[in-house]
Structure 1
Amino acid sequence: MNIEMLISTMNQTNYNLIQRMNIKNNAVVINQVTNNNLQIPPNLDEEKLKFINVHDKGLSKSRNMAINNSSGDICVICDDDLFYYDDYINEITTAYEKKAEADVIIFCYDTDGRHKKNFYKEGKWLGYIDLMKVSSVQITFRRNSIIEKNIYFDELFGTGSSHYQCGEENIFLFECLKKGLKIHFEPISILSIDNSNESTWFNGFDDKLFFDKGAVFTALSNKFYHFLIWQFAIRKYKLYRHEINLIKAINSMYKGHKNYLSIHR
């Protein structure tokens, strides 16, 4: 079983991130260059490493380019601020051998020395509600399953998009379920995240965040977007009540809903 890491990064001036991330297997690196003054390394197309420079931006574009340039049996979605534990290859391989019917497997990660994103104490098959909690760096998948179903990240969404700055991973996973793929959760942590880096999209609970969330919820389900908007507004109220009032938050999400429909139709 060939496991391949799909790494999205920006403005790298060398190949050192492979060692920094403790990657020991094949990898595809998409290096989006937005600073023309940088001395960037040349493209590579070697047996274990493809390093591709592109003068573009957008996380979903980067993910899709990595998928299109991949060749592994199992693909692992990666950012550049991750550190993979020494046994990650064995853990991923074992999980797919145990769950031969799984098309996608969601793993855990650690941050600040604590176990994070461990939804359940035991493995289980995930449904739509479960997928609302998943982060992109938890996602692994059988490449053939994704390619055969023509599933990609929606480039309207994600950091660097000209439209909406979040939600691309949830939309991707919803599409997997809608097209009949099976998604399993493994309560095993395979990596840690460096939380010292500032988020590239979260600037607090402002109008833009709620606007984008409204678009995300509509993309997830045009049937249940009302429920998703209201549950988010109520569930997160304690976190944002000092930044924006409830009615304004809900109105911003409905504006995002309408904006998405105007683009998507």
Structure 2
Amino acid sequence: MKVQVLVAAMNQHDHTLVEKMNIQSDVIVGNQCDFNSIEQFEYRGYSATYLNFSERGVGLNRNNALMRATGDICLFADDDMVYVENYTELIENAFLNHPDADIIAFNLVEDVPTRYIIKDTKRIRFYNFLTYGTARIAVKLSKIRENGILFNLCFGGGTTHCHGEDNIFISDCLKKGLKMYAVPISIAELTEERESTWNSGYNQKYFFDQGVLYKTISKKLWKLLCLQDSIRHARKEYKTSWMNAYTLMIKGGKELK
């Protein structure tokens, strides 16, 4: 079982990132920069590839790496992650312990936790998948390819809609019948050294894009998704009324024909 890390990065001008991230497996770095080249070399006995492309968009970046992936199990990493020493063993064992799993979500360590912390092993279904982003999941590459699943190019940093490409990716996996689990195992730490390329706060643009995202995920349930999001997050996280958040999300969703 070969584990391979697929990193979405920007403006890398040398190969120090793989050492900084403590990579201990095969790796492909999608490096969006101002030049075009493909570099292949050996790192710690593993195969390393840099895809240097003068283009923008996180979905496009992840697709470039995903289309060239060769691992049995693939991770979708960001360039502000540092993997733990035995991450390949942890991931391999998780799939061995859940032989029917096509996707497994893990924990990411943060100094100040902002992401949901998995405390118990659980099955992830369509009603509870929105908690998990792609930086914390591992996938069976064969299942992704058999079902023709790629990242939506209209969502995420550097695109029209500022976020949500990971939610749509996982949604597409579940719609295709792939089985997903979450396990209480940490595989990497977030250094949080770089600023987000898309998050400028919970403003009108954010809510508008959230509505577009939910309608893209489900044209039947999108209004309900907007409602639950608004009620759950408006007061403590969004710092606005749930009605204001909901109204803006609905306005965004209606723009998607």
Figure out how many residues of one structure are paired with residues of the other and give that number. Answer: 253
In 2, Cα distance between equivalents of 1:113 and 1:68: 34
The answer for unaligned runs of 5 or more in structure 2 is: none
Match of 2:250 in 1: 254
Residue among 204, 207, 213 paired with 1:207: 204
Partner of 1:61: 60
1:200 Cα shift? Answer: 1.9
The answer (yes or no) to whether the contact 1:109–1:117 under 8 Å persists in 2 is no
- Say whether the 8 Å CA contact 2:235–2:242 is kept in structure 1: no
What is the identity, as a one-letter code, of the residue corresponding to 1:77? Answer: F
- CA-based RMSD of the aligned residues comes to 1.9
Q: Distance in 2 between matches of 1:208 and 1:116?
A: 22
* TM-fit CA distance, 1:195: 2.4
Aligned pairs for 1:19-30 (under 5 A) are: 19-30=19-30
Deviations along 1:216-255, one digit per CA (max 9) or x if unpaired, are 111111111111111111212213665x554443232122
Question: Is 1:224–2:253 an aligned residue pair?
Answer: no
Amino acid in structure 1 at the alignment position of 2:172? E
For 2:78, the aligned partner's letter is D
What is the distance in 2 between the residues matched to 1:182 and 1:221? 19
Given the alignment, which residue of 39, 46, 49 partners 1:44? 39
C-alpha separation in 2, matches of 1:43 and 1:156: 25
Letter in 2 for 1:78: A
**SS state of the match for residue 109, structure 1?**
strand
The one-character-per-residue Cα deviations of 1:31-75 (angstroms, maximum 9, x if unpaired) are 101x46xxx9x5213460111111100000011111001111000
Cα deviation per residue 1:170-199 (whole Å; 9 max; x = unaligned)?
111111111111001111001010124322
DSSP-derived class of the 1:5 partner: strand
Give the SS at the match of 1:62: helix
Deviation at 1:149, TM superposition (A): 0.2
SS at match of 1:132: helix
Seen in structure 2, the aligned counterparts of structure 1 residues 231 and 211 have a Cα distance that, compared at 3 Å, is: same
SS at match of 2:8: strand
Q: Which residue of 2 aligns with 1:147?
A: 145
Partner of 2:125: 127
Mapped partners of 1:105, 1:137: distance in 2: 11
SS at match of 1:236: helix
CA contact (8 A) 2:102 2:180 kept: yes
State whether residues 112 and 195 of structure 1, in contact with CA within 8 Å, keep that contact through their aligned partners in structure 2: no
SS at structure 1 position matched to 2:62: helix
Map residues 115-194 of structure 1 onto 2, 5 A cutoff: 117-119=116-118, 121-161=119-159, 163-194=160-191
Q: CA deviation at 1:18?
A: 0.1
Confirm or deny: 8 A CA contact 2:5 2:76 kept in the other structure: yes
Q: Which whole-Å deviations, capped at 9, do the CAs of 1:127-146 have from their partners, x for residues lacking one?
A: 11221100221111000000
With structure 1 as the length reference, what TM-score do the two structures score? 0.90
Structure 1 unaligned spans of 5+? none
- The aligned amino acid for 1:45 is Q
Counterpart for residue 96 of structure 1: 95
Contact 1:115-1:189 at 8 Å conserved across structures: no
